[in-house]
Structure 1
Amino acid sequence: MENPRDKLNEALKQAMLNKDAQRRDVIRVALSAIKQVEVDERRELTA
């Protein structure tokens, strides 16, 4: 099963290729929130 973060990274790449700024920005915010929780809790989030 693919990690949700990996799915978001793939979606981010696709949004950038499609020049979809709104989707790109939303995905970046989601990835940033995931990263912040991981840093705060000092562990990797899993599905």
Structure 2
Amino acid sequence: MSRAAKATLIGSIIFTTATVWGVHFLQQWESDRMYDGVLRDDARRKEKLR
């Protein structure tokens, strides 16, 4: 394998890994933020019932 081919392969592997990790991170972050909304809604409901 030529040096250019190796560099391209390594670059594409790094790019793909970073993209998959980034998407996973953003999905987890978004899920956590949505759950925070559920907790806030529950707290508001408890305050209204008092």
TM-score normalized with structure 1 length: 0.48
Larger Rg: 2
| Structure number with higher relative contact order (C-alpha < 8 Å, ≥ 6 residues apart) | 1
- Pick the structure with more helix per residue: 2
